[in-house]
Amino acid sequence: MGFIEIRNVSKSFGQVEVLHNISISVERDEFLVLVGPSGCGKSTLLNMIAGLEGITSGEILIRDRVVNGVHPSKRNIAMVFQNYALYPNMTAGQNITFGLEMHGVAKPVRDRSLSAVAKLLQIDHLLDRKPVQLSGGQRQRVAMGRALVRNPDVFLFDEPLSNLDAKLRVDMRKEIKKLHDKLKSTVVYVTHDQIEAMTLSTRIAVMNHGHIQQLGTPQEIYNTPANVFVGTFMGSPAMNVLPVRVVMHDGVPHACITDSEDLQQYFRFSQDNLADWDGREVFLGIRPEAITDLDGADRNSRNLARLRNRIGVTEPAGSDTFVTMTLGGRDATARMRADVTVVSGDVFEFAVNMEKAVAFDPATEERIKP
Amino acid sequence: MHAVSQDMSVRTGRIARAFIYLALLIFALFYLLPLLVMLVNSVKPLTEITGGNMISLPEVWTIEPWLSAWSTAQIGVEPTGLRPYFLNSVLMVVPAVAISTALGALNGYVLTKWRFRGDNILFGLMLFSCFIPFQIVLIPMARILGITGLAGSTAGLVLVHVVYGLGFTTLFFRNYYAVFPDELVRAAMIDGAGFLRIFWRIMLPVSGPIIVVSVIWQFTNIWNDFLFGASFADLDSMPMTVALNNLVNSSTGVKEYNVHFAGAILAAFPTLVVYVVAGRYFVRGLMAGSVKG
């Protein structure tokens, strides 16, 4: 039994069902990230765990206790909001201890908890300031302090970093990760940023249209996406999803793909259960880093294919150079080492690591499992 | 070429500015003129006014009209001056303003942070009360005051003004709280604060500007109200405005214009003070809620 059990939970607003029969079991000390595009229902699900939204059907348990209808303050949870939601009329210190005060904790105990949390988050010197006198990053820390001081069973984060600028976001991300490693707490974290999801989580639930698309470790999600949506949503640049025809050759399935010169190229599939698909179309899912220059290719791969193709656009990003080309009639992105000379319009020899490729059923867009 | 055209624009800007200030000055003087006439004549002996010299400064300065208006002038049949009625007005205005503002704040809080089915319809209906002319409610209100036994008392007037002002105060607070982030209320809920505690500790402390708006608005409306005061007050609960009318309309003896002027200024004085003290918050508060809502 998980620390948080979400069982067959649905949510409707009037006639519109926004969450469909969601079940997730979150283990103790786990860092679960709910990720998905806006409107996928991830924040609604978080609010339901917090008790800020009612549950239409199903049940949610925290520490073996059904919390449907239990008031947010009695669930022993703490929440960090996207806009920090600091009380503007109180100082940082009062903001942090407000919850303890409401729960009737005595002043000396409150002060002790406050100083411990302030030290942990390095905000000792800010405690007498009002929120308007704090920078974005400092407000973020105070908001985290308000959550930490309660010593709750569960931390809920609702896009806590999306109001910060890019550099600060990366710093705070690391900070949150460090805190989780140190405090070993159970976290449910909502974000639309797939990099945050990958870096922070122990497990990810990818959501879309009120359904869980895939629930798994970051590696599972990244390497073996359950469907086209997960493959393209997770990872930047997105996974290439290219229409190919399956051709059996000596009993081994090959992907027949049209290159930029309208010639047929054959790549051997690493999975061998595609005989049923002989002569039919599938989607080949391949990440940009699996298409690269010959020297940059993974030497341990047992299935490297070569591809001569014309370079479309080049985008030097400093650490890598991204190359866009036409493959299978669509735009495909390749990721090259930065010191490789690539010139737009030239024909270039790429290495395609088919070991990393996945195949999707074009009708259902589900992955064809090996 | 560029510098020249810039210079030109600066010069025309200055001329336009001078024109604007001149216009503003003329308007300001125009608006101040009645007050000036009132002030000048309130410190003149009556003979100077009846002599036909209303605009010029007094030849003999006197505060006698002020003293008379305040404490000895004939109001109806009693030579009490305006003093007891001033007190009546204060006793009516203070609770009426306090209660209507407090209820408006509570209404605004519920209508924005504790939404319920039909809340917008309810708000619309309350807003509707802002557009009902006073005269329409006179008879039903008289009936209600009769039934409750509050007719002719200060408490009755307080009730009338609270009910009538509720639409406005609710509108003010509802629009002000509409832009107040919901997450703050949610955070406070998780922190364990209840309905009233959130209102008292989180919402009210940031409501300063809109409280000022509500207080000024209610204060001026209730203080200046004549119709309800004339309709529902007894002799011993009559507000200042009605007493002023009785002072001016006394048909016995000579018309003491200087006393009337002094009385009128006395009647207008509290609202002037409220505007001067809190006026700058008024504009700020009115703007605050108006961006969204």
**Partner residue opposite B191 with nearest CB, options A82, A83, A102:** A102
**Partner residue opposite A85 with nearest CB, options B181, B193, B201:** B181
Phi and psi at A291, nearest 5°, equal: -115, 110
Contact criterion met (CB below 8 Å) for B207 and B176? yes
Provide the shortest C-alpha distance from residue A88 to chain B (in Å): 7
Set of chain A residues whose Cβ sits within 8 Å of the Cβ of B190: 50-52, 72-73, 77-79, 99
**C-alpha R_g of chain B:** 25
Q: Distances in Å between the alpha carbon of B234 and those of A11, B82, B242, B284?
A: 60, 15, 11, 39
Specify the amino acid at residue A136. Answer: G
Phi and psi at B7, nearest 5°, equal: -60, -45
CA atoms of B248 and B66, how far apart (whole Å)? 14
Mean pLDDT of chain A: 91
- pLDDT one-digit tens code per residue, A200-219: 999 999 999 999 999 999 99
pLDDT band at B288 (very low <50, low <70, confident <90, very high): low
Set of chain B residues whose Cβ sits within 8 Å of the Cβ of A73: 189-193
Tell me whether residues B189 and A73 touch, CB distance under 8 A.
Answer: yes
pLDDT above 70 for B10: no
Tell me whether residues A98 and B186 touch, CB distance under 8 A.
Answer: no
- pLDDT one-digit tens code per residue, B101-147: 999 999 999 999 898 888 889 999 988 888 888 888 889 889 999 99
Contact criterion met (CB below 8 Å) for A138 and A126? yes
Look at residues A116, A113, A119 and name the one whose alpha carbon lies nearest to residue A98: A113
Interface test with B, best of A46, A52, A67, A190 (most B CBs within 10 A): A52
Does the interface ipTM go beyond 0.85?
no
Number of inter-chain CB pairs under 8 A, A vs B: 55
**Partner residue opposite B183 with nearest CB, options A51, A85, A102:** A85
- pLDDT one-digit tens code per residue, B28-41: 999 998 888 888 88
Provide the shortest C-alpha distance from residue A188 to chain B (in Å): 16
Q: Which residue has the higher pLDDT, B151 or B218?
A: B218
User: What percentage of chain A carries pLDDT values higher than 70?
Assistant: 100
The nearest alpha carbon in chain A to B188 belongs to A99
Give the mean pLDDT of B184-202.
Answer: 91
* Predicted local distance difference test score (pLDDT) of residue B102: 95
* B94, two tokens: 């203070």
By DSSP bridging, strand A304-316 and strand A291-293 are: unpaired
Q: Which residues of B touch A (CB under 8 A)?
A: 181, 183-184, 186-193, 197, 201-202, 205-206
Task: Give the full edge-to-edge strand order of the sheet including A281-286.
Answer: A264-268, A252-258, A240-249, A281-286, A358-360
Contact criterion met (CB below 8 Å) for B166 and B126? yes
Set of chain B residues whose Cβ sits within 8 Å of the Cβ of A72: 186, 189-190
Q: Which residue has the higher pLDDT, A49 or B282?
A: A49
Provide the shortest C-alpha distance from residue A259 to chain B (in Å): 52
* Predicted local distance difference test score (pLDDT) of residue B208: 85
* Predicted local distance difference test score (pLDDT) of residue B289: 44
**Partner residue opposite A87 with nearest CB, options B184, B189, B192:** B184
Task: Give the full edge-to-edge strand order of the sheet including A347-353.
Answer: A291-293, A347-353, A304-316, A320-327, A330-337
Give the mean pLDDT of B56-60.
Answer: 80
Q: What are residue A86's DSSP bridge partners?
A: none
Classify residue A185 by its DSSP letter: -
* Predicted local distance difference test score (pLDDT) of residue B291: 39
Classify residue B200 by its DSSP letter: I
Set of chain A residues whose Cβ sits within 8 Å of the Cβ of B205: 89
pLDDT above 60 for A62: yes
**Buried/exposed B118-144: b ≥16 CB within 10 Å, e otherwise:** eeeeebeebeebeeeeeeebeeebeeb
**Partner residue opposite A72 with nearest CB, options B181, B190, B206:** B190
For residue A183, the SS3 value is helix
Set of chain A residues whose Cβ sits within 8 Å of the Cβ of B179: none
CA atoms of B177 and B167, how far apart (whole Å)? 15
pLDDT above 50 for A286: yes
pLDDT band at B8 (very low <50, low <70, confident <90, very high): low
For residue A10, the SS3 value is strand
Provide the shortest C-alpha distance from residue B180 to chain A (in Å): 10
Tell me whether residues B183 and A81 touch, CB distance under 8 A.
Answer: yes
